[in-house]
């Protein structure tokens, strides 16, 4: 099972963190720091898996990572996961990001965090791998993009008579919120 997915830059700044097991926020930050120190000091020509740090579970867990340009993609997994399978999953994740953002870079992860999390949710949910077929993932992402565009299009049409619908929704929300006031 996947316990955490971490993406950080060459300076250790986290760009994406997803934990599938509860850790307090300060412990999560310590895990990111410890993982960065374990992974960043390794040469690029050595094996891409190592034992997990003391905070993430020690020898019962593995850190499987890939270093692309300025970003480290690290998956913290238990012993039941295949190292090569996770390396392939990292590759699928990065290639999917690359297709969605047309040559992904660190800034894409910063400014499109919602889209990156959506892509990751198409691959992994609750620590379990859902999908590894990149074309299937891209289809789901494109469907989401179309939905968002249609919602934005509908919002643009509001001044031409669609405002009443929004007003009734807002007044309904006010009624609900007044019902729950103490």
Measuring CA to CA, which residue among 32, 30, 73, 76 is closest to residue 52? 76
Record the tokens describing residue 151, joined without a space. Answer: 């919602």
> Which tens digit of pLDDT belongs to each residue from 78-135?
988 999 999 999 999 999 999 999 889 999 999 999 999 999 999 999 999 999 999 9
Binned at pLDDT 50, 70 and 90, residue 181 comes out as: very low
> Which tens digit of pLDDT belongs to each residue from 46-65?
999 998 766 676 677 899 99
Query: Domain 2-146 - what CATH class?
Result: alpha beta
> Which tens digit of pLDDT belongs to each residue from 18-29?
999 999 999 999
Measuring CA to CA, which residue among 67, 66, 62, 56 is closest to residue 83? 62
Checking if the pLDDT of 182 tops 50, the result is no
Helix (H, G, I), strand (E, B) or coil at 50: strand
Question: What is the helix (H) or strand (E) element at residue 8, kind and residue range?
Answer: strand 2-9
């Amino acid at each position: 099972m996947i316990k955490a997915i971490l993406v950080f830059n060459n300076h250790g700044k986290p760009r994406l963190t997803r934990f599938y097991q509860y850790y307090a926020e300060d412990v999560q930050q310590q895990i990111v720091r410890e993982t960065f120190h374990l992974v960043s000091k390794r040469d690029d020509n050595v094996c891409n898996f190592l034992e997990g740090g003391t905070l993430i579970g020690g020898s019962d867990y593995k850190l499987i990572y890939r270093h692309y340009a300025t970003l480290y993609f690290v998956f913290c997994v238990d012993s039941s996961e295949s190292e090569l399978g996770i390396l392939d999953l990292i590759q699928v994740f990065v290639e999917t990001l690359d297709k969605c953002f047309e040559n992904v870079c660190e800034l894409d992860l910063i400014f499109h965090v919602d889209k990156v999390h959506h892509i990751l949710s198409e691959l992994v949910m609750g620590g379990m791998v859902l999908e590894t077929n990149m074309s299937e993932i891209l289809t789901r992402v494109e469907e989401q993009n179309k939905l968002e565009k249609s919602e934005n299009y509908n919002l643009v049409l509001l001044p031409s008579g669609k405002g009443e619908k929004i007003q009734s929704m807002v007044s309904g929300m006010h009624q609900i919120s007044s019902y729950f006031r103490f």
